[in-house]
């Protein structure tokens, strides 16, 4: 005998459940977002978080958000379909969102960029999941199919042509590739760190270092110059950033900037305690809720300090200022930040082209160049790589990794280069 629930009873259960969520939302100062996206298994998440829900077999979804007059960005994603960003203001009982996900295909062109400025590279047997640019080469971390043990690093020139391959021994469990504060290229493994070094005409993994020791030695260092070592010491989960430097010869510590947003940190803790006392049905854990509040409402200000040719640039997102100094801390320029730092669709990252001396940031799916003299931004391109976490701008080109389905629904990953 089959053990199943009659469809009528199942529908009744779902209806009662949804009604329960809506009633709870109305009674407990929550706003319900519901609708249909035309496809099943669409992930609906708060922008820049892992908090969200999925659409059912009919494309329906429902989620509860605390009421606020602030905008919350919702990201709709599904393999084979274009990522969609929707901004909502959960200040009422119910918000209805109904639209159809748009299908996407492998090798899409970037919006606003001519086809001759875009190039892709893929290998059917390999998944690309991280990369870095070093020594005018692109180092792409690859995994063969679904294998965890069979990994390698593909070495490409800046035009995405393969020039070398580094085979990763099976005892290494690679996680990512980074350029560290010493400007060395490192493969980060589960337990150890390996430097990528050029030996004669090829690249090899050398100088293994225990991961814990590596992190401890380089902890808080953001970059070096000829005279100083620059640090960013974080407190209160990043809501306080203390920027300082130590002279290489004098060994003296000099405080530079403090980005103090302890008020937001305290508000997050208050929101967490409120949530524990007023949990919605089928809601996330208090810890996940805290992450959501942190990113959606009280994101860290992400103040940013960097240098180009001994000129220091400080992006003070707490006070909305960009300040430029020489290395003797003489103020060369100060301007207001024009871009909307409180907008949910802001990526909260500054991308630097070291060679061309330019700065960029991302709103939604659009790459914008920042004029550090005026604080204004100019939209450069909207790419189909819109939501990719790893983006590098180098020598006037944007590089990123895309994971999509092609026209015949086969999963592919590829690296993309767009000439800006």
The Cα 316–Cα 325 span in angstroms is: 13
Highest-confidence range of 43-47, 146-150, 194-198, by mean pLDDT? 194-198
> Sign of torsion, CA 43 44 47 49?
negative
Per the model's pLDDT, the better-predicted residue between 120 and 239 turns out to be 239
Residue 276 lies in a domain: no
Question: How many C-beta atoms surround the C-beta of residue 396 within 10 A?
Answer: 12
Among 63, 98, 133, where does a domain finish? Answer: 98
Same domain, 89 and 128: no
Same domain, 155 and 47: no
Residue 274 lies in a domain: no
* pLDDT > 70: percent of the chain: 83
Same domain, 172 and 316: yes
Same domain, 227 and 315: yes
Which residue in the block uniquely carries the two structure tokens 């809720």?
A: 289
The Cα 245–Cα 247 span in angstroms is: 7
> In terms of residues, how long is the chain?
420
Same domain, 119 and 94: no
Same domain, 181 and 235: yes
Same domain, 16 and 134: no
Q: What is the 3-state secondary structure (H, E, C) of 131-164?
A: EEEECCEEEEEEEECCCCCCEEEEEECCCCCEEE
Yes or no: say if 76 and 84 are a contact pair by the CB < 8 Å rule.
yes
Residues 6+ apart with CB under 8 A from 391: 351, 362, 367, 385, 398, 399, 400
Q: Tell me, what's the pLDDT at 274? A: 86
Same domain, 149 and 24: no
Distance, CA of 240 to chain centre: 20
- Smallest CA-to-CA distance from 410 within 184, 125, 144, 175 is with 125
Q: Tell me, what's the pLDDT at 209? A: 93
The whole-chain average pLDDT of the chain stands at 84
The CATH number assigned to the domain holding 145 equals: 2.120.10
- Smallest CA-to-CA distance from 65 within 11, 110, 25, 106 is with 25
Same domain, 119 and 84: no
pLDDT of residue 53 exceeding 60: yes
Same domain, 378 and 238: yes
Average pLDDT over residues 308-334: 96
Same domain, 205 and 75: no
Q: Tell me, what's the pLDDT at 410? A: 62
pLDDT tens-digit profile of 322-353?
A: 999 999 999 999 999 987 766 657 878 999 99
Residue 268 lies in a domain: no
pLDDT of residue 1 exceeding 50: no
pLDDT of residue 409 exceeding 80: no
Residue 286 lies in a domain: no
Show the domain range for 354: 115-261+300-419
Q: Tell me, what's the pLDDT at 15? A: 42
Among 98, 126, 157, where does a domain finish? Answer: 98
Average pLDDT over residues 115-141: 89
Residue 200 lies in a domain: yes
Query: What's the domain count of the chain?
Result: 2
Q: Tell me, what's the pLDDT at 9? A: 43
pLDDT of residue 293 exceeding 90: no
pLDDT tens-digit profile of 255-279?
A: 999 999 999 999 999 988 988 888 8
The CATH number assigned to the domain holding 75 equals: 2.60.40.1120
Under the banding of pLDDT at 50, 70 and 90, the label for residue 364 is confident
Average pLDDT over residues 11-40: 62
Yes or no: say if 283 and 273 are a contact pair by the CB < 8 Å rule.
no
Same domain, 71 and 24: yes
Q: Tell me, what's the pLDDT at 408? A: 54
Among 67, 98, 129, where does a domain finish? Answer: 98
């Amino acid at each position: 005998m089959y053990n199943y629930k009659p469809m009528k009873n199942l529908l009744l259960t779902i209806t009662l459940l949804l009604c329960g969520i809506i009633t709870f939302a109305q009674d407990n100062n929550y706003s319900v977002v519901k609708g249909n996206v035309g496809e099943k298994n669409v992930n609906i998440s708060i922008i820049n978080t892992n908090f969200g829900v999925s659409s059912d077999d009919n494309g329906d979804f429902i989620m509860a958000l605390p009421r606020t007059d602030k905008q919350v960005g919702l990201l709709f994603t599904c393999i084979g379909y274009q990522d969609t960003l929707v901004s909502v203001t959960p200040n009422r009982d119910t918000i209805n969102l109904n639209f159809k996900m748009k299908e996407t295909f492998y090798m899409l062109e970037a919006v606003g960029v001519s086809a001759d400025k875009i190039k892709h590279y893929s290998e059917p047997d390999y998944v690309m999941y991280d990369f870095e640019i070093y020594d005018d080469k692109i180092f792409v971390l690859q995994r063969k199919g679904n294998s965890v043990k069979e990994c390698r690093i593909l070495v490409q020139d800046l035009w995405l042509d393969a020039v070398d391959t580094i085979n990763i021994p099976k005892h290494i469990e690679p996680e990512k590739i980074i350029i560290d504060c010493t400007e060395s290229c490192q493969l980060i493994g589960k337990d150890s760190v390996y430097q990528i070094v050029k030996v004669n005409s090829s690249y090899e993994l050398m100088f293994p270092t225990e991961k814990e020791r590596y992190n401890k030695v380089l902890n808080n260092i953001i970059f070096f110059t000829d005279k100083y070592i620059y640090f960013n010491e974080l407190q209160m989960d990043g809501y306080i950033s203390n920027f300082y430097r130590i002279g290489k010869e004098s060994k003296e510590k000099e405080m530079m900037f403090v980005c103090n947003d302890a008020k937001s940190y305290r508000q997050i803790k208050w929101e967490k305690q409120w949530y524990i006392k007023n949990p919605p049905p089928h809601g996330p854990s208090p810890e996940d809720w805290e992450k959501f509040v942190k990113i959606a409402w009280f994101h860290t200000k992400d103040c940013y300090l960097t240098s180009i040719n001994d000129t220091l640039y400080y992006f003070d997102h707490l006070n909305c200022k960009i300040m430029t100094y020489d290395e003797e801390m003489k103020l060369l320029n100060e301007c207001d930040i024009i871009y909307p730092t409180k907008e949910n669709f802001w990526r909260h990252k500054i991308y630097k082209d070291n060679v061309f001396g330019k700065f960029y940031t991302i709103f939604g799916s659009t790459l914008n160049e920042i004029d550090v003299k005026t604080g204004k931004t100019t939209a450069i391109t909207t790419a189909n790589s819109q939501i990719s976490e790893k983006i590098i701008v180098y020598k006037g080109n944007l590089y990123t990794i895309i994971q999509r389905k092609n026209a015949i629904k086969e999963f592919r990953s590829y690296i993309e280069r767009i000439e800006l």
